[in-house]
Amino acid sequence: MTTRYATLEQFRAAKLSAREERDAYAQKLKESWSVLKEPATRGLLLRDAMGDALRSWKPYRRLQELLGGHLSGSTVSSIGVAFASMQGGLGKRLLYSGISMLLGKLIGDQEEKGPGLLSTLASAIGSMRTRIRERKAQREAEESEAGASNRD
């Protein structure tokens, strides 16, 4: 589209307005990209997309209809683990258990429940190891001081 301007000042004003509009869009785009760069946001988007894909899957819809619409993540995990326990071989049981737990997480409610049992247990074991190492180093330091004072 060609626009004719009567004066050079009208052209400069239109040019300035176009630049301001471009800069505003560029700023909005930068803000959107900064939000998408955050791992938590990307994780939520991925989880939402995977959940939508799963909910559109026909076996999932049938199972949800069978359970009267009360399908939760823990139900899927429980059914999956029961199915995995019927499989032959340790590898298949572990694979199906892992898949069912992942599906349970995808389907499950979005609320933050805090750290799970495994992460709490792992952090407790880690802090216990740290305390044991500190006590051992302290005892060795005390023994070396006691040995040095006995020699004097």
Ranges of each domain in the chain: 9-56, 68-109, 116-152
Give, in degrees to the nearest 5, the angle at Cα 96 between 94 and 97. 60
**Tens of pLDDT along 89-140?**
888 888 888 888 877 776 665 545 556 666 676 777 888 888 999 999 999 9
Among 111, 107, 113, which Cα is nearest to 71's? 107
pTM comes to: 0.37
Write phi, then psi, for 118 (nearest 5 degrees).
Answer: -65, -40
